[in-house]
Amino acid sequence: MAAGSAGTRMRNVHRVVEGEVEEVALRRGAIALAGIAAHFLAHGTVSV
């Protein structure tokens, strides 16, 4: 019983960690895209 609950707890922790890693990756990607867009706009390379 104790081993089973410990295993479930570990799986839940793992799922939470994966979710956080995914969120950080998405946030980094968004920041990178914003940085690239700002770079192009600053240099006037993008024609609107």
Q: What is the mean pLDDT of each run of 10 residues along the chain (48 residues)?
A: 73 85 93 93 71
40's CB contacts (< 8 A; 6+ apart) are 46
The Cα 6–Cα 1 span in angstroms is: 9
Between CA 39 and CA 46, with CA 45 as vertex, the angle to 5 degrees is 90
Locate the domains of the chain by residue range.
1-48
- Residue 46: the pLDDT is 54
Q: What is the pLDDT of residue 4?
A: 67
For the entire predicted model, the pTM comes to 0.52
Q: What's the length of the chain?
A: 48
Give residue 29's pLDDT: 95
Tokens of 13: 């922790």
Which pLDDT value is given to residue 34?
96
At 15 the pLDDT is 83
> Are 40 and 46 contacting, i.e. CB atoms less than 8 angstroms apart?
yes
